[in-house]
Structure 1
């Protein structure tokens, strides 16, 4: 679908769960909405979406297709492409796409998500979302009772191992390149029968297109059927940085584990007229949470527009013979025919 307008009430940058949820709510509020989607959803490698009430087990691509159809049913327009820049104008924002297309918006909702940056271990990227996992609530049930490894890459490694122990009694924690654990941490791990393997992990062993083990630098292979890895979560924030919004580092135990764009609970940023929702603002948000955040941001954006529309109406009422009031009357009465009248003058 291609855009039919040059100016919209809201341009949504990012067409994942947060963006489409926001677009749906705004379109139902009779706002003109354009969604620009780069087509690279974070959860594309995953086979199914979980913990989404009413959509449990739905493939990610199917969920997005349903969302696009629902938003479009109420008039939202959706185009595929990357946004290369967004800048403030006198009365809103100017958005430029990679293909050269330019549109204007009164408000922006940015839901560009994040990038999962994996450790430099051979084979991780190729199994990401299959047997190389991160979130136990997303994938724990699917590997319940199986041999699971946890790769220590940040200070939360012990917590991860203890958490995944809920889904299986066969958990091995690979210390990899992290500092040694404390006596208290070893005691907690031992109490839950979690083994610790010293030495750096060099790569994965795959047999018949299935993960079968984790290989250490010395050549030893520890049999495993799944490996838990905590990636670095990096917000897709280039467009927002052009508007003056810089990513905020998220630290755990003094180590940066990701970046996000700071916003209030409804998604409003420090730049007036710009909202964010989903993983670009909350690194730990799951799909259903991202959709809820998109809805919340959309309701606040609509209210903000209502306030602006009301201020303009009050100003027009107070000065009924202004140039602005004349323009509005002309548009209401003549619509597109006004252009022909202007050309004959």
Structure 2
């Protein structure tokens, strides 16, 4: 593996990485996908919003994607990437956790992100079970139940469409926002949540019974490989910048999915991965044609 020069190494085996891998493998580029086995939606029992895949278990989705990728000749490696640099000749070297080094003409990073939850006891333990962040992914499943939303007025308003019992706690609101939410049927409580191990406990001593909790975590992109290889960030968003196809500022370095688009759902991440994979096929082909003419 250390001596092979891959056409492309994909880092990250979620929806974006696998979709990119299928595009590259079907075009018969030598493609290796490296995955650490820590998918963002791994704790969830089901995923939603993906046409024809609604309700599918994330583990089943990934297993199916891996089978498709390897069916077309893609190679799958389960390992973390510990380091990366660009060689003088423009190729890339990725060092795996066990010390092995991969060499590639191009790299596509689809490492996703980490959801950082507020430090409230109980949230992390219940994450993806009855604590959620996306009303489009999980709102319908808790319809007509008692819902508590922590700190986010937009979430509360969206979830009010699913249930007559929505309570918003700990949000900083203007008088106009408070009036609109109250008129829309959302109960607004200024107190902050201190514990969510069972029902929600507030710092004013009140306890609110609930069936589901929604919170907006802080998305932290896993972009260390991109920055190590010199990719520039968008000054407005702070995210690694990519063009419409997924190319970064570094020739041969591409990215797709939540690592550069934190709000992308699974279906959107898969689409971005496919777009990046096809774009990278064209990039690799152009260099082969240029080389053939010399």
Q: Which runs of 5+ in 2 are unaligned?
A: none
- Tell me, yes or no, if the aligned pair for 1:44 and 1:60 is still in contact at 8 Å: yes
Please list the CA deviations of residues 95-135 of structure 1 after superposition, one character each: whole Å capped at 9, or x if unmatched.
11011111111111000000000001010000111111110
Give RMSD over aligned pairs. Answer: 1.6
Structure with the bigger RCO (C-alpha within 8 Å, sep 6+) is: 2
Alignment of 1:201 with 2:208, yes or no, is no
Aligned to 1:260, the other structure's residue is in SS state: coil
Contact (CA 8 Å) 1:235, 1:247: kept in 2 or not? no
Residue in 2 aligned with 1:342?
A: none
* Runs of 4+ that moved beyond 4 A: 246-251
Q: Distance in 1 between matches of 2:61 and 2:235?
A: 31
* Partner deviation per Cα, 1:132-166 (whole Å, 9 max, x = no partner): 111011101110011111100xxxx2222111111
2:73 counterpart of 1:75 = yes
CA distance in 2, matches of 1:117, 1:4: 35
What's the counterpart of residue 61 of structure 1? 59
Residues 204 and 215, structure 1, Cα contact 8 Å, conserved in 2: yes
The reply to whether residue 130 of structure 1 matches residue 109 of structure 2 is no
Tell me what 2:155 maps to: 160
Relative to 1, partners in 2 of residues 1:41 and 1:249: Cα closer, same or farther, differing over 3 Å? farther
The CA deviation at 1:223 is 0.9
1:50 maps to: 48
**1:338 aligned partner:** none
Match of 1:323 in 2: none
Q: Which of 163, 170, 183 is matched with 2:165 structurally?
A: 170
Question: Secondary structure of 2:59's partner?
Answer: helix
Determine if the alignment matches structure 1 residue 238 to structure 2 residue 224: yes
SS in 1 for 2:292: helix
Counterpart of 2:203 in structure 1 is: 217
DSSP 3-state at the match of 1:104: strand
- 8 Å Cα contact 1:237/1:247 also seen in 2: no
Structure with higher Rg: it is 1
Q: Cα distance, 1:57 vs. partner?
A: 1.0
Question: Equivalents in 2 of 1:41, 1:260: separation in Å?
Answer: 20
TM-score by length of 1: 0.82
Match of 2:139 in 1: 140
Q: Say whether the 8 Å CA contact 1:134–1:229 is kept in structure 2.
A: yes
Q: Does residue 106 of structure 1 match 2:75?
A: no
Deviation at 1:84, TM superposition (A): 1.1
Deviation at 1:219, TM superposition (A): 3.1
Deviation, structure 1 residue 10: 0.3
Aligned length: 293
Residue deviations 1:51-99 (CA, integer Å, cap 9, x gap): 1112111110110011001100010000111111111111411111011
